[in-house]
Structure 1
Amino acid sequence: MKTKYVFACCGYFFAMGLFGQSPGLQEVLRSIEQNNTGLQALASQMEGESLALKSENNLPDPEITGYYLPWGNHSTGNYSEVELSQSMDFPTVYGKRGQWIEQQKNLLGLHYALERQNILLKAQKTYIELSILDRKIGHESERYKQAKTVYEQLSKSFEAGEAGILDFNKAKLVWMGKRFVLDQLEQQRQSQLAKLQWLNGDLPLKLEAVSMPPMAALPQFETLWVNKLQNDPELLIPQGKEDLAQRSIALAKAKSLPKLSLGYNYQGVQGENHSGLLGGLSIPLWNSKNKVKSEKMKWESQKVTTQHNESNLKLTAQTAYDRYMVLYTKWEAYTESLLSLNSEALLLKAYALGELSYLQYHQEIQFYQQAQEKQLQMEKELHLTRAQLLKHQL
């Protein structure tokens, strides 16, 4: 039941995590969760391991033993004996082992949830890269057109003797450079698309529009952290191991009780026979020695590991959160300042009207484009950091 509960939680958190994401991203993540071959293989492996765990609580096979003793010196007839027996642990062991198995199955579900989270996070980050690349391609396509327009204008001016060879050559190099940058971006886009398709089980994805939702601030860190403690499998797995260690102690204590055996026995000789029930009880002197103490030591070790893991992940999350908030404030101010600068279209118009020389136009357009690229880079870092912080919502 706990394994099913983990899968149900995965679906719930997946639906909750999609809130605030773009429709295109939602569809991509759903498709990858359904088609990813790694997740399919892991689900099959988990099913097999779950069945193997369940079999650990089975009774041992019954035993049948027979004796027929015709040889030897004896005045009576041949001796024969048949014995059918069933051995078992003390009854409380099966209950404790059942609880231990359920926790093991719960951990299997958490490991699946962690792998699913990692795959969907990888897909989300790839989608973010793709959305930024699409915007860069849009910018560079427009810049390529503008560079071509400037080059053609300078070419005519050069032929008419109104422009120098240096400006003409520089404009030509800029135009050719924009074409090269555009080709590079297209190649990078195809690479990201191929990565998404691989995550989708090598099945094609229909990506009509690749875009991210507007940037937004995160909730308070403590609120975020409490949510991660409750939902992030990376944090839940150590907690689950600690719970498993406690159940191992209870199981070890139960195993220190005597083992039982019950059965039927038949003995016959020279027309006479005896039959009846048999029973046995082990004396737990040696086999269980130090086992409970060993399991307690493992539990103590796991508690320290859980605390260390939680502290480490909290520090990592706090660092990423602080970086996000600082970068978000910087990005907002930078975006506002960028809007006040002259756009590329206005600069091109000023150049066409002769208000700017080619050198002035080139310097201004370079400054504007560098600022635009920096703003896009900050936006990408914000989206990637946010995705990492909110991965437990996937």
Structure 2
Amino acid sequence: MKKNGLTILILMVSIVSYAQNSMEHILHEIESNNTTLLSLQKQVEAHKLGNKSGIYLPNPEVEYTHLWGTPIEIGNESTFAITQSMDFPTAYGHRNKISNMQNQNLDLLYSSERINLLLQAKQLIINLTYYNALSKDYENRIKIAEEIAESYQRMFDEGKIDILERNQVYMDFLTCINEKEKIDIERKSLLNELKTLNGGKEIEYESTVFILSPLPANFNEWYLKAESMSPILQYLTKQIEISKQQLKLNKALSLPKLSAGYVDERILGQKLQGVTIGVSIPLWENKNSVKQAKADIVYNETTLEDNKIQYYIKLQNLFIKSVDLQKTALKYRQALSTYNSVPILRKALEAGEITLLNYLMQIENYYDAYNNMLEVERDYALAEAELSAIAL
């Protein structure tokens, strides 16, 4: 008995390991083939280039003027000038830092979208697992119902039962077939959704085993790690840094702008040349820009705190839900394993120890319990998948 138990345990571990590798393979394939992610990657690259524009000195300005004198005796005049204007020097350092942080935030937004998409794919796989398990179970139900229907048809032909009993068994058989067809329609729909996420490439997944990660032993300790890994919270934290850097930039832009250049002027055979230096007086152009930057800092800090609270409550609820569903699923699995009366009911029916109506009622109760168990296991897997999505 111990040897058989060990064999079953090894077989179960092998099935779970295979299913897990299969799911990871599908998620990796979807990440590589998904057209939305590929498009988003190109968009991120374009926006990164956009963030790197406008952070350098403006183009130098070159000016040439030629004036013809009238009358001719007064001669002609020509002027050549080249001028370079610039913001206060510290502004360029601030712009460069802002550009780098904005590009980092683009990567975080991409990471967030990637996690959301892979979570969607994982949820589809979990639902597919549920319908795979149902479909496989209904194959057994149809086989049993068909055997009973054939047996009752023979008894009807021999005059041992009436037409009502035969029809009742046949309707049970037909119901099982119809349910199996409905289940397979759902399976095909889920496979098509996965195909769409996989860039139009077919995906096969026949596993009936839910893949679950162990729940954290201490939620608060686990949450601190999850919070530090969240791309959205990292993004909002970086937005605060950007707004603080923007405040420094706006202060620098409120300082005088500088310009310097070279001028060459020629008139009546004489040549004048020299340098030109200019300073703008900051009066109106950046009015209220510093106040706006300070307001943005407060807004981003408030947004981060609000999102942290919502994120904590969301994960806490998922954790509590997962713990409860895990307990319920385990109870169902143990009960159905211990009290599986399907073979006993079949023998009792064939021996005439119970009526057909009694058999159908009791077998229906067992099937309902089995369906409920699969639903609870699916809900548990879905809740756990969302809880651990940060690790995708």
User: What is the CA–CA distance in structure 1 between the aligned matches of 2:108 and 2:263, rounded to whole Å?
Assistant: 49
Confirm whether residue 108 of structure 1 aligns to residue 106 of structure 2. Answer: yes
**Paired residue for 2:347?**
349
Normalising by structure 2, report the TM-score: 0.91
Fraction of identical pairs, as percent: 30
> Separation in 1 of the partners of 2:162 and 2:214?
49
Give yes or no for contact 1:249–1:292 (8 Å, CA) kept in 2.
yes
The residue type paired with residue 382 of structure 1 is: Y
Q: Which residue of structure 2 aligns with residue 6 of structure 1? A: none
Equivalent residue runs for 1:211-230 within 5 Å: 211-213=209-211, 216-230=214-228
The yes-or-no answer on 1:379 pairing with 2:377 is yes
| Structure 2: distance between partners of 1:20 and 1:390 | 20
Q: 2-side partners of 1:331 and 1:27: how far apart?
A: 27
Change over 3 Å in CA distance of 1:235–1:243 after alignment to 2: same
Paired residue for 1:248?
246
Residues 1:258 and 1:74: Cα distance change in structure 2 (over 3 Å): farther
* 1:321 to partner: Cα distance: 1.4
Which residue of 321, 325, 334 corresponds with 2:332?
334
Unaligned stretches of 5+ in structure 2?
A: 1-16
d(CA) in 2 for partners of 1:385, 1:305: 26
Measured in 1, the distance between the counterparts of 2:365 and 2:311 equals 40
* Deviation by residue 1:284-315 (Cα, 9 ceiling, x = unmatched): 22223221111101111111111112112211
Shift in Å at residue 118 of structure 1?
0.8
Q: Report what 1:273 is aligned to.
A: 271
Q: Deviations over 1:25-79 (max 9, x none)?
A: 1100100111100000010011111001101212211111112121457964221
What CA distance in whole angstroms lies between the structure 2 residues aligned with 1:21 and 1:175?
Answer: 31
1:5 aligned residue: none
Contact 2:34-2:198 within 8 A present in 1 as well:
yes
In the alignment, which residue of structure 2 is the partner of 1:294?
292
Q: Is the Cα contact below 8 Å between 1:87 and 1:262 reproduced in 2? A: yes
Instruction: Choose which of 152, 156, 159 in structure 2 pairs with 1:158.
Output: 156
Kept in 1: contact 2:129–2:206 (CA 8 A): no
Secondary structure at 1:22 match in 2: helix
| TM-score (norm: length of structure 1) | 0.91
| Alignment match, 2:11 | none
Report if aligned partners of 2:191, 2:204 keep a CA contact under 8 Å in 1: no
When residues 323 and 207 of structure 1 are mapped into structure 2, their CA distance, relative to the original with a 3 A threshold, is closer
Pair 1:362 & 2:347 matched: no
Three-state SS of the structure 1 residue aligned to 2:52 is helix
The Cα shift of 1:208 comes to: 6.0
Question: What is the aligned partner in structure 1 of residue 12 from structure 2?
Answer: none
Residue matched to 1:15: none
Q: Which residue of 2 aligns with 1:4?
A: none
Find the aligned partners of 1:265 and 1:212 in 2 and give their Cα distance: 78
Tell me the alpha carbon deviations over residues 153-172 of structure 1, each in whole angstroms, 9 at most, x when there is no partner: 11111222222322211111
2:8 aligns with none
Structure 1 residues 210 and 274: CA distance shift in structure 2, 3 A: farther
Q: Contact 1:24–1:211 (CA<8 Å) still a contact in 2?
A: no
SS in 1 for 2:202: coil
Query: 2:172 — aligned with what?
Result: 174
Alignment match, 1:132: 130
Cα distance in structure 1, aligned partners of 2:216 and 2:169: 45
Residues 19, 207 of structure 2: 8 Å contact kept: no
CA–CA distance in structure 2, aligned partners of residues 328 and 237 of structure 1: 33
1:103 deviates by 1.2
Residue in structure 2 matching 1:96, options 67, 90, 94:
94
Structure ranking higher on relative contact order (CA contacts 8 Å, 6+ apart): 1
Shift of residue 202 of structure 1?
0.4
Contact 1:20/1:213 (<8 A) preserved: no
* Residues 180/264 of structure 1: CA separation in 2 closer, same or farther (3 Å cut): same
- Provide the secondary structure at the position in 1 that maps to 2:286: coil
User: Runs ≥4 in structure 1, deviation > 6 angstroms?
Assistant: none
